[in-house]
Amino acid sequence: MSALQTAVLLLLLSCFSLIAPPCTGGGSVCSCNITNSRCDEFGVCSCDPGWDGELCDRCVPMPGCVHGSCLQPWQCTCETGWGGRFCDKDLTVCLQKQPCQNGATCVMEDSGDFTCLCLEGFHGPTCQKKTGPCYQRRSPCKNGGLCEDADGFASKLTCLCLAGFTGQRCETNVDDCQMTPCATGATCVDGINRFSCLCPAGFTGRFCTISLEDCSSRPCLNAGRCLDRARGFHCVCQPGFTGTTCEIPVNRSNASINASINASTNSSTNPGHRSPGWERPVYDDRPLKVTVSERSAASLSDLQLLVVLVLLGVTVCVVLLTAILIMWGRCRDCGHAPCWPSPSQQGERNSRQAPRDDPESQSSFLTAAEPQKKKLNVEVIQT
């Protein structure tokens, strides 16, 4: 092959590499836009910021762009008839909708907004208001009143007053004490849309309806709680007592004992106070019986019984597992021999171990051999 042929071959290979797809992945051709994305190992296009689409060939417009498009990311090129930064201003509003009233002229601005040039005697954003009494002079309404003249088309103005004021020009303060809201002879003081009550001695509250003297003598017995009322008081009794002053026990058998205790407590803490029908208790020598109610032992609940059964089952499983592991260890030490020998093998093992283990058998064996030794010694001496 000549040098010219080699050069031509290299030139063809380089041209083929230029026209080949920009990237491949997973054995498939990736057709992503190489300037706006990259191709991963699976042949999927990963777009750069500002680009979107399956092939990353569609730009992302400016956020908030309504009637616009883009050639580059974050642009907002307005469509025909729309303007403004976000293409949300209708440029045909003056021609189609004609928002200006009363003969005003509509003018479009560069920002996309419109302005109404009002005729003489009119004003407002769309020239909808007439130069009426409220606009021609300063508002005559007092104390924060709002001047109204029907957008200037009314011949006379009116004042819309705030709460607490009245009159043609809102100049009069409403008398809030006119309905005499204060009770028990209290003095009412008028304010701006409010009032206050100056209570006499012994009363309190917004309307002076709460008496301070009803509960001062502590009329509620047996730790009852006293509540002041407009006329009198009310006792909130503790459990087990009832009555106007919580003087009646719910258990009638102990009524006399509790009444005596309450009366003695009252006389010691407040000698001047005597409840109606109070008499000094009379004590006799009869023994006082006290009944103690015994509460039976509560049985186990279903949840507690379930827990006990689960713990019992776990304990049995642990014991069985321990026994199995011990027996398996013994069988492993035995090797191939059976772990539980037969009765005959057990007897032979015992017979073999008896001479070594039993001290009595050893002593009897020695005693039986001693005469034979003496006999042999005598025969030797005679010879």
Q: Is the model's pLDDT at 318 over the cut of 90?
A: yes
In a domain, 382, yes or no: no
Q: Which residue has the higher pLDDT, 246 or 81?
A: 246
What pLDDT sits at residue 355?
A: 43
One domain for residues 184 and 227: no
Q: What is the CATH number of the domain that holds 157?
A: 2.10.25.10
One domain for residues 101 and 74: no
Confidence band of 94 (pLDDT split at 50, 70, 90): confident
Residue 278 to residue 275: CA distance in whole angstroms: 6
Q: Containing domain of residue 189, as a range?
A: 177-212
Q: How many domains would you assign to the chain?
A: 5
In a domain, 242, yes or no: yes
What does the pLDDT look like over 321-357, one tens digit per residue? 999 999 888 887 765 545 555 555 555 555 554 444 4
Minimum mean pLDDT among 75-89, 166-180, 260-274: which range?
260-274
What pLDDT sits at residue 254?
A: 52
What pLDDT sits at residue 198?
A: 94
In a domain, 84, yes or no: yes
Nearest to 213 by CA among 224, 226, 222: 226
Neighbours of 76 (CB within 10 A): 19
In a domain, 29, yes or no: yes
DSSP string for residues in 159-187 = EEPPTTEESTTS-EE--TTTT----TTPE
In a domain, 352, yes or no: no
Q: Is the model's pLDDT at 288 over the cut of 70?
A: no
What pLDDT sits at residue 323?
A: 93
Neighbours of 161 (CB within 10 A): 21
What does the pLDDT look like over 97-148, one tens digit per residue? 889 998 899 988 877 788 999 988 888 889 988 888 888 777 889 998 999 8
Q: Is the model's pLDDT at 276 over the cut of 50?
A: no
In a domain, 40, yes or no: yes
Nearest to 290 by CA among 315, 257, 316: 257
Tokens 């819309």, residue? Answer: 160
What does the pLDDT look like over 11-43, one tens digit per residue? 555 544 444 344 433 444 577 878 888 888 887
Tokens 């006990």, residue? Answer: 308
Q: 163: which 2 tokens?
A: 């709460």
Over residues 283-294, mean pLDDT = 44
343-357 and 359-382 helices, crossing angle to 10°: 60
How do 23-25 and 28-30 pair as beta strands? antiparallel
Question: Which residues lie below 8 Å from residue 200, measured CB to CB, with a gap of 6+?
Answer: 184, 185, 186, 208
CA distances to 157, 261, 273 from 268, in Å: 77, 11, 10
DSSP string for residues in 130-163 = E--HHHHS-----TTPEEESTTTTSSS-EEEPPT
Q: Which residue has the higher pLDDT, 151 or 13?
A: 151
What pLDDT sits at residue 321?
A: 93
In a domain, 353, yes or no: no
Confidence band of 314 (pLDDT split at 50, 70, 90): very high
One domain for residues 190 and 207: yes
What pLDDT sits at residue 283?
A: 42
In a domain, 381, yes or no: no
One domain for residues 208 and 235: no
Residue 349 to residue 341: CA distance in whole angstroms: 10
Residue 191 to residue 187: CA distance in whole angstroms: 13
Confidence band of 361 (pLDDT split at 50, 70, 90): very low
One domain for residues 25 and 75: yes
Tell me the whole-structure pTM to 2 decimals: 0.32
